[in-house]
Amino acid sequence: MTESHHTHPTFSGDFIVPKREVFAIFDMAKWYRSEAYDNYMNFVHRINDAVKGVQSNDSSINVSERVKKVISIFDEFESWVAEFPLEDMQEQRFGNKTYRKWYERLQERADDLITKLLPEDKKEAKVELLPYLLDSFGNSTRIDYGSGHEVAFLFFIYCLYSVGSLVAPEDDKAVVLRLFARYLRFVRLLQSKYRMEPAGSRGVHAIDDFQFAPFIFGSSQLIGNKQRLTPDHYLNAQTVEVHQRDNLFFEAIQYINETKYGPFYEHSNQLYNISAVPNWEKVNGGMFKMYEGECLKKFPVAQHFVFGNILSSKIQSKYVKLDEETRAALDKEKVESDKKKAEDATKEMHLMDAVKPMDPIEEDPIESVKPMDSIPEKTVLE
């Protein structure tokens, strides 16, 4: 099941409980050669293109009842945060244990919440959507959050499209600028409220401690922007504060400015370097390359992904064909190599046959040698 950049496939098969497929670094090829990888990247490209040049506060964005229904679950999620008082952190730097109470509530209610979002004939799909939603808000054991959890939520959205709870391309703009934006605001609340640790943070070498997608979609929004904002403008804190509600990129930068201290080039070196890129088109293209290389194709992230029938680990047809061609080429090479070895062996045998043995020596050369005449003894002169 593969989609084009402008449509989304409707899934109509059986639903199964998703399971892990990436257990070691050697399993990574199974992931990025899978139908799930191809379909997911097509999906991200599609919704990225949908918000190109569109401001977050654009009042003309159509928000369907379908999208509103999904957004509404965040009101419930947020109400649970208020129910549980924070525990004393004492000497802990990260991870308020109250988060685990919030997460337990999520586990208790997620099944019912998902069921309400699904069409009547697709209620069974909840078994596939549940793991993605549960993994969208961090890890309750480590009390951390990272870009892999963000991917899980985008997987969840992908599945909602696949079962008809969301419709492409009608809902695409609202999915990014209303639904996903609401998700970002909520996970930032969790991160700050519970002092969640960045999952697998690479410090200044990562684009951000927690998120990645807002920099993709936000850079798309800024293509051809009327304010003539260029990439180097986000280094100016005042400019960012003024335009933070206009696009997801500046909103993400504002969150960094509010939560980190010191010079920007020190705590966010990757973003600082990206500010030198001349235009937003190149930033957007570069973000996709970085997203694949630094997030999706990293084992510490991909090892947690699970695959069902909607997001399938089945190999893409193009790789099936490529593998067949590769095997055929290797088989042909082996046949030619074996043929050459056989020919060389035959030639060697012919050469051996052509070599004549030496004629036998009739006389023993030693026996034919006459002994030297004895040397007469010298007369001793008296």
What percent of the chain shows pLDDT beyond 90? Answer: 74
pLDDT in tens, 152-191: 999 999 999 999 999 999 999 999 999 999 999 999 999 9
The token pair that represents 259 in the structure block? 């939560």
Categorize the per-residue pLDDT at 363 as very low, low, confident or very high, splitting at 50, 70 and 90. Answer: low
Q: Looking at residue 325, what is its pLDDT?
A: 67
Q: Which residues of 35-60 are buried (b: 16+ CB within 10 A; e: fewer)?
A: bbbbbbbbbbebbbebbbebbbeeee
**pLDDT over 60 at 201, yes or no:** no
Q: In the predicted model, what is the mean pLDDT of residues 133-137?
A: 98
Q: Looking at residue 284, what is its pLDDT?
A: 98
AA identity, residue 64: S
What percent of the chain shows pLDDT beyond 70? Answer: 88
Give which of 111, 85, 147, 108 is closest to 304, Cα–Cα.
Answer: 147
Q: Looking at residue 2, what is its pLDDT?
A: 43
Neighbours of 145 (CB within 10 A): 25
Mean pLDDT, the chain, rounded, equals 90
Bridge partner list, 315: 34
**pLDDT over 90 at 9, yes or no:** no
Q: Looking at residue 346, what is its pLDDT?
A: 82
pLDDT in tens, 282-341: 999 999 999 999 999 999 999 999 999 999 999 998 887 776 667 777 877 888 888 888
Map out the domains of the chain as residue ranges.
19-202+298-320
Least confident among 139-148, 185-194, 196-205: 196-205
Q: Looking at residue 90, what is its pLDDT?
A: 73
**Contact indicator for 247, 226 with CB cutoff of 8 Å:** no
pLDDT in tens, 216-263: 999 999 999 999 999 999 999 999 999 999 999 999 999 999 999 999
